Amino acid sequence: MAAANAAAAALSVHELRKTYGTVAAVDAVSFAVRAGECYALLGPNGAGKTSILRCCLGLTAYDSGAIDLLGYRIPAQARLARQRTGVVSQMDNLDPDFTVEENLVVYGRYFGIDRHTIGRRIPELLEFASLGQKVHARISELSGGMKRRLMLARALVNDPSLILMDEPTTGLDPQARHLIWERLKQLLSRGKTILLTTHFMDEAERLADRLAILDRGHKIAEGTPRELIREQIEPEVVEVFGEGAVEWARDRAPSLSSRVEIAGETAFCYVTDATAILRELEQRPGLRHLYRPANLEDVFLKLTGREMRAEW
Protein backbone atom coordinates (compact mmCIF):
# COMPACT_ATOMS: atom_id res chain seq x y z
CA MET A 1 0.00 0.00 0.00
CA ALA A 2 2.84 2.31 0.84
CA ALA A 3 4.52 2.01 -2.54
CA ALA A 4 1.30 2.66 -4.45
CA ASN A 5 0.65 5.85 -2.50
CA ALA A 6 4.18 7.05 -2.86
CA ALA A 7 4.05 6.79 -6.64
CA ALA A 8 1.08 9.15 -6.77
CA ALA A 9 1.98 11.57 -4.01
CA ALA A 10 5.19 12.15 -2.10
CA LEU A 11 3.14 13.67 0.67
CA SER A 12 -0.56 13.66 1.29
CA VAL A 13 -2.25 15.59 4.05
CA HIS A 14 -5.90 14.86 4.66
CA GLU A 15 -8.26 16.97 6.77
CA LEU A 16 -5.44 17.95 9.11
CA ARG A 17 -6.49 19.71 12.29
CA LYS A 18 -4.12 20.97 14.96
CA THR A 19 -5.19 23.05 17.93
CA TYR A 20 -3.27 24.87 20.63
CA GLY A 21 -5.67 25.25 23.52
CA THR A 22 -8.83 26.56 21.92
CA VAL A 23 -7.10 28.03 18.88
CA ALA A 24 -7.02 25.97 15.70
CA ALA A 25 -3.61 26.59 14.13
CA VAL A 26 -4.49 24.24 11.27
CA ASP A 27 -8.12 23.57 10.42
CA ALA A 28 -9.21 20.84 8.01
CA VAL A 29 -6.34 21.37 5.59
CA SER A 30 -5.89 18.85 2.78
CA PHE A 31 -3.35 18.81 -0.02
CA ALA A 32 -1.11 16.40 -1.85
CA VAL A 33 2.40 16.98 -3.15
CA ARG A 34 3.13 14.96 -6.28
CA ALA A 35 6.48 13.31 -6.67
CA GLY A 36 8.89 15.62 -8.48
CA GLU A 37 6.97 18.86 -8.05
CA CYS A 38 7.52 21.96 -6.00
CA TYR A 39 4.52 22.74 -3.84
CA ALA A 40 4.30 25.91 -1.78
CA LEU A 41 2.28 26.79 1.26
CA LEU A 42 1.78 30.53 0.95
CA GLY A 43 0.42 32.68 3.71
CA PRO A 44 1.21 35.35 6.28
CA ASN A 45 2.83 34.55 9.61
CA GLY A 46 0.42 32.69 11.83
CA ALA A 47 -1.34 31.05 8.88
CA GLY A 48 -0.36 27.60 10.12
CA LYS A 49 2.45 26.84 7.65
CA THR A 50 5.08 25.81 10.18
CA SER A 51 2.55 23.80 12.19
CA ILE A 52 1.73 21.80 9.06
CA LEU A 53 5.41 21.05 8.46
CA ARG A 54 5.90 19.96 12.07
CA CYS A 55 2.89 17.66 11.84
CA CYS A 56 4.24 16.17 8.60
CA LEU A 57 7.56 15.37 10.29
CA GLY A 58 5.86 13.80 13.27
CA LEU A 59 7.31 16.49 15.55
CA THR A 60 3.97 17.35 17.02
CA ALA A 61 0.77 15.40 17.48
CA TYR A 62 -2.30 16.56 15.59
CA ASP A 63 -5.93 16.39 16.68
CA SER A 64 -7.42 14.68 13.65
CA GLY A 65 -6.77 13.92 10.02
CA ALA A 66 -4.17 11.76 8.31
CA ILE A 67 -0.70 12.31 6.90
CA ASP A 68 1.20 10.03 4.57
CA LEU A 69 4.79 10.99 3.85
CA LEU A 70 6.68 8.90 1.27
CA GLY A 71 4.36 6.02 2.04
CA TYR A 72 4.85 6.24 5.79
CA ARG A 73 2.02 6.94 8.19
CA ILE A 74 2.69 9.95 10.36
CA PRO A 75 3.24 10.09 13.27
CA ALA A 76 3.45 6.29 13.75
CA GLN A 77 6.28 5.86 11.22
CA ALA A 78 7.70 9.37 11.42
CA ARG A 79 11.18 8.18 12.14
CA LEU A 80 11.33 6.09 8.97
CA ALA A 81 9.88 9.00 7.05
CA ARG A 82 12.50 11.41 8.42
CA GLN A 83 15.23 9.01 7.36
CA ARG A 84 14.30 9.81 3.74
CA THR A 85 13.39 13.47 4.12
CA GLY A 86 15.51 16.60 4.15
CA VAL A 87 14.52 19.57 6.29
CA VAL A 88 15.63 23.18 6.08
CA SER A 89 14.15 24.98 9.05
CA GLN A 90 13.51 28.67 9.24
CA MET A 91 15.95 29.40 12.03
CA ASP A 92 19.64 28.88 11.71
CA ASN A 93 20.52 25.82 13.77
CA LEU A 94 23.95 25.05 12.41
CA ASP A 95 26.46 23.96 15.01
CA PRO A 96 28.51 27.09 15.81
CA ASP A 97 31.33 25.10 17.40
CA PHE A 98 32.09 23.25 14.18
CA THR A 99 33.48 23.98 10.77
CA VAL A 100 31.38 23.72 7.62
CA GLU A 101 32.69 20.22 6.96
CA GLU A 102 32.17 19.04 10.54
CA ASN A 103 28.59 20.25 10.44
CA LEU A 104 27.93 17.88 7.56
CA VAL A 105 29.81 14.96 9.13
CA VAL A 106 28.07 15.34 12.47
CA TYR A 107 24.65 15.72 10.88
CA GLY A 108 25.18 12.69 8.66
CA ARG A 109 25.74 10.57 11.75
CA TYR A 110 22.21 11.32 12.95
CA PHE A 111 21.07 9.43 9.85
CA GLY A 112 23.43 6.57 10.55
CA ILE A 113 25.82 7.64 7.79
CA ASP A 114 29.41 6.85 8.70
CA ARG A 115 32.24 9.32 8.35
CA HIS A 116 33.74 7.57 5.36
CA THR A 117 30.54 7.64 3.31
CA ILE A 118 29.76 11.24 4.16
CA GLY A 119 33.38 12.17 3.50
CA ARG A 120 33.01 11.07 -0.10
CA ARG A 121 29.83 13.11 -0.52
CA ILE A 122 31.06 16.33 1.09
CA PRO A 123 32.85 17.78 -1.95
CA GLU A 124 29.70 17.34 -4.02
CA LEU A 125 27.47 18.82 -1.31
CA LEU A 126 29.72 21.84 -0.84
CA GLU A 127 30.02 22.32 -4.57
CA PHE A 128 26.25 22.37 -4.76
CA ALA A 129 26.09 24.94 -1.98
CA SER A 130 28.93 26.99 -3.56
CA LEU A 131 30.88 26.59 -0.34
CA GLY A 132 33.81 24.70 -1.80
CA GLN A 133 36.25 27.33 -0.51
CA LYS A 134 34.75 27.26 2.97
CA VAL A 135 35.27 23.62 3.97
CA HIS A 136 37.23 24.51 7.07
CA ALA A 137 35.53 27.83 7.85
CA ARG A 138 33.74 28.35 11.14
CA ILE A 139 30.03 29.05 11.02
CA SER A 140 30.56 32.54 12.43
CA GLU A 141 32.64 33.37 9.34
CA LEU A 142 29.74 32.68 6.97
CA SER A 143 27.28 35.25 5.61
CA GLY A 144 23.54 34.76 5.99
CA GLY A 145 23.27 33.41 2.45
CA MET A 146 26.14 30.98 2.98
CA LYS A 147 24.58 29.70 6.18
CA ARG A 148 21.29 29.09 4.43
CA ARG A 149 23.08 27.25 1.62
CA LEU A 150 24.90 25.14 4.19
CA MET A 151 21.56 24.35 5.82
CA LEU A 152 20.39 23.23 2.38
CA ALA A 153 23.49 21.09 1.84
CA ARG A 154 23.04 19.62 5.31
CA ALA A 155 19.44 18.70 4.46
CA LEU A 156 20.81 16.68 1.55
CA VAL A 157 23.27 14.50 3.51
CA ASN A 158 20.86 11.56 3.43
CA ASP A 159 20.07 12.06 -0.29
CA PRO A 160 16.38 12.64 0.49
CA SER A 161 13.67 12.28 -2.12
CA LEU A 162 11.51 14.91 -0.41
CA ILE A 163 12.76 18.21 0.98
CA LEU A 164 10.72 20.34 3.37
CA MET A 165 11.75 23.98 3.60
CA ASP A 166 10.36 26.51 6.03
CA GLU A 167 10.75 30.04 4.65
CA PRO A 168 13.94 29.23 2.77
CA THR A 169 14.86 32.81 1.85
CA THR A 170 13.46 34.90 4.70
CA GLY A 171 16.05 37.39 5.87
CA LEU A 172 18.31 37.05 2.82
CA ASP A 173 19.31 39.82 0.45
CA PRO A 174 18.06 39.62 -3.17
CA GLN A 175 21.27 38.17 -4.54
CA ALA A 176 21.37 35.42 -1.93
CA ARG A 177 17.71 34.64 -2.57
CA HIS A 178 18.31 34.19 -6.28
CA LEU A 179 21.14 31.79 -5.58
CA ILE A 180 18.89 29.69 -3.33
CA TRP A 181 16.11 29.69 -5.93
CA GLU A 182 18.54 28.57 -8.58
CA ARG A 183 19.69 25.68 -6.36
CA LEU A 184 16.14 24.62 -5.64
CA LYS A 185 15.45 24.48 -9.36
CA GLN A 186 18.50 22.28 -9.76
CA LEU A 187 17.14 19.93 -7.13
CA LEU A 188 13.80 19.78 -8.92
CA SER A 189 15.54 18.98 -12.19
CA ARG A 190 17.21 16.07 -10.41
CA GLY A 191 13.78 14.71 -9.61
CA LYS A 192 13.54 15.80 -5.97
CA THR A 193 10.21 16.80 -4.51
CA ILE A 194 10.04 20.07 -2.59
CA LEU A 195 7.46 21.39 -0.15
CA LEU A 196 8.19 24.92 0.93
CA THR A 197 6.46 27.54 3.00
CA THR A 198 6.81 31.19 2.19
CA HIS A 199 5.17 34.54 2.62
CA PHE A 200 6.83 35.89 -0.52
CA MET A 201 4.62 36.06 -3.60
CA ASP A 202 7.54 36.19 -5.97
CA GLU A 203 9.09 33.12 -4.40
CA ALA A 204 5.88 31.12 -4.75
CA GLU A 205 5.28 32.34 -8.29
CA ARG A 206 8.81 31.60 -9.36
CA LEU A 207 9.31 28.19 -7.82
CA ALA A 208 6.02 26.49 -7.16
CA ASP A 209 4.37 24.22 -9.66
CA ARG A 210 1.32 24.38 -7.44
CA LEU A 211 0.54 26.15 -4.23
CA ALA A 212 -2.01 26.48 -1.49
CA ILE A 213 -2.85 29.84 0.01
CA LEU A 214 -3.35 29.59 3.74
CA ASP A 215 -5.02 32.02 6.08
CA ARG A 216 -5.59 31.53 9.80
CA GLY A 217 -5.26 27.79 9.58
CA HIS A 218 -7.50 27.38 6.55
CA LYS A 219 -6.64 26.56 2.97
CA ILE A 220 -8.44 29.27 1.01
CA ALA A 221 -7.23 28.52 -2.53
CA GLU A 222 -5.11 26.02 -4.43
CA GLY A 223 -3.72 25.72 -7.93
CA THR A 224 -0.85 26.74 -10.15
CA PRO A 225 0.16 30.37 -9.69
CA ARG A 226 -1.24 31.31 -13.11
CA GLU A 227 -4.48 29.44 -12.58
CA LEU A 228 -5.06 31.18 -9.30
CA ILE A 229 -4.46 34.62 -10.74
CA ARG A 230 -6.52 33.93 -13.85
CA GLU A 231 -9.41 32.37 -12.01
CA GLN A 232 -9.58 34.63 -9.04
CA ILE A 233 -8.87 38.12 -10.29
CA GLU A 234 -8.61 40.65 -13.09
CA PRO A 235 -5.30 40.59 -14.98
CA GLU A 236 -4.07 44.10 -14.14
CA VAL A 237 -3.79 46.31 -11.12
CA VAL A 238 -3.30 50.01 -10.61
CA GLU A 239 -2.16 50.78 -7.09
CA VAL A 240 -2.97 54.34 -6.13
CA PHE A 241 -1.44 56.08 -3.14
CA GLY A 242 -0.48 59.52 -1.90
CA GLU A 243 -2.55 62.24 -0.28
CA GLY A 244 -6.27 61.85 -0.95
CA ALA A 245 -5.90 58.41 -2.50
CA VAL A 246 -8.47 56.78 -0.25
CA GLU A 247 -11.06 59.51 -0.88
CA TRP A 248 -10.39 59.36 -4.59
CA ALA A 249 -10.77 55.59 -4.54
CA ARG A 250 -14.15 55.85 -2.85
CA ASP A 251 -15.51 58.54 -5.19
CA ARG A 252 -13.96 57.85 -8.57
CA ALA A 253 -12.31 54.46 -8.77
CA PRO A 254 -15.42 52.23 -8.73
CA SER A 255 -16.63 53.66 -12.04
CA LEU A 256 -13.22 53.17 -13.66
CA SER A 257 -12.29 49.69 -12.46
CA SER A 258 -14.09 46.40 -12.01
CA ARG A 259 -13.12 46.11 -8.35
CA VAL A 260 -11.39 48.27 -5.73
CA GLU A 261 -9.73 47.12 -2.52
CA ILE A 262 -8.44 49.60 0.02
CA ALA A 263 -5.67 48.45 2.30
CA GLY A 264 -4.14 51.03 4.59
CA GLU A 265 -3.35 54.17 2.54
CA THR A 266 -3.31 52.33 -0.78
CA ALA A 267 -6.16 51.65 -3.20
CA PHE A 268 -5.85 48.58 -5.40
CA CYS A 269 -7.89 49.05 -8.59
CA TYR A 270 -8.39 45.82 -10.54
CA VAL A 271 -9.02 46.17 -14.26
CA THR A 272 -9.00 44.24 -17.50
CA ASP A 273 -8.13 47.43 -19.36
CA ALA A 274 -6.26 50.18 -17.52
CA THR A 275 -6.54 52.90 -20.17
CA ALA A 276 -9.39 54.83 -18.58
CA ILE A 277 -8.04 54.81 -15.05
CA LEU A 278 -4.54 55.81 -16.13
CA ARG A 279 -5.95 58.72 -18.10
CA GLU A 280 -7.91 59.86 -15.04
CA LEU A 281 -4.79 59.62 -12.88
CA GLU A 282 -2.86 61.88 -15.25
CA GLN A 283 -5.30 64.63 -14.24
CA ARG A 284 -4.45 64.12 -10.57
CA PRO A 285 -0.84 65.09 -9.99
CA GLY A 286 -1.24 64.72 -6.18
CA LEU A 287 -1.80 60.98 -6.53
CA ARG A 288 0.94 58.52 -7.28
CA HIS A 289 0.35 55.17 -8.85
CA LEU A 290 1.91 51.85 -9.80
CA TYR A 291 0.59 49.94 -12.78
CA ARG A 292 1.42 46.21 -12.80
CA PRO A 293 0.11 42.74 -13.65
CA ALA A 294 -1.93 41.03 -10.93
CA ASN A 295 -0.11 38.61 -8.65
CA LEU A 296 -0.76 36.19 -5.81
CA GLU A 297 -0.77 38.98 -3.27
CA ASP A 298 -3.83 40.35 -5.02
CA VAL A 299 -5.47 36.95 -4.84
CA PHE A 300 -4.83 36.89 -1.12
CA LEU A 301 -6.14 40.42 -0.70
CA LYS A 302 -9.31 39.55 -2.57
CA LEU A 303 -9.94 36.34 -0.64
CA THR A 304 -9.23 37.76 2.81
CA GLY A 305 -9.60 41.51 2.47
CA ARG A 306 -6.15 41.90 4.01
CA GLU A 307 -2.67 42.39 2.71
CA MET A 308 -0.27 39.55 3.37
CA ARG A 309 2.66 41.97 3.62
CA ALA A 310 1.05 43.97 6.38
CA GLU A 311 1.16 41.01 8.74
CA TRP A 312 4.88 40.50 8.78
Partner 1 sequence: MTNPAAFWRVPRVSRRFIPVWQRNMLVWRRYLLERVLSNIVEPAITLVAFGYGLGTLLPQIDGVAYLPYLAGGTLCVSVMYSAKFESLWGAYSRMEVQHTWAAILNAPVAIDDILLGELAWAATKSVLTGAAMLLIVWALGLARTPLALFVLPLSFIAGLSFSAMALIVNARAKGWDTLSTYFTIVVTPMIFLGGVFFPLSRLPPWLQEISAFLPLTALVQLVRPLMLDRVPEGAAFRLALLLFYAFGCYFVAVGLSRRRLLR
What's the closest the beta carbon of residue 5 comes to partner 1, in angstroms? 20
Contacting residues toward partner 1, per CB under 8 A? 19-20, 57, 59-64, 79-80, 82-83, 87, 89, 91-98, 102, 106-107, 109-112, 158
Question: Measured from the CB atom, is 110 or 124 closer to partner 1?
Answer: 110
- DSSP per-residue codes, 268-281: EEEES--HHHHHHH
On whether the CB atoms of residues 193 and 165 are closer than 8 A, the answer is no
Question: Measured from the CB atom, is 62 or 248 closer to partner 1?
Answer: 62
Q: Work out the number of other CB atoms within 10 angstroms of the CB of residue 99.
A: 16
Alpha-carbon span 306 to 58, nearest angstrom: 32
Question: Measured from the CB atom, is 79 or 292 closer to partner 1?
Answer: 79
On whether the CB atoms of residues 10 and 35 are closer than 8 A, the answer is yes
On whether the CB atoms of residues 272 and 234 are closer than 8 A, the answer is yes
What's the closest the beta carbon of residue 71 comes to partner 1, in angstroms? 15
Question: Measured from the CB atom, is 37 or 92 closer to partner 1?
Answer: 92
Non-local (6+) Cβ contacts of 130 within 8 A are 149, 179
What's the closest the beta carbon of residue 48 comes to partner 1, in angstroms? 14
On whether the CB atoms of residues 213 and 43 are closer than 8 A, the answer is yes
What's the closest the beta carbon of residue 197 comes to partner 1, in angstroms? 14
What's the closest the beta carbon of residue 167 comes to partner 1, in angstroms? 15
Give the 3-state secondary structure of residue 103. Answer: helix
Question: Measured from the CB atom, is 92 or 239 closer to partner 1?
Answer: 92
What's the closest the beta carbon of residue 272 comes to partner 1, in angstroms? 46
On whether the CB atoms of residues 199 and 167 are closer than 8 A, the answer is yes
Non-local (6+) Cβ contacts of 278 within 8 A are 238, 289, 291
Question: Measured from the CB atom, is 63 or 124 closer to partner 1?
Answer: 63
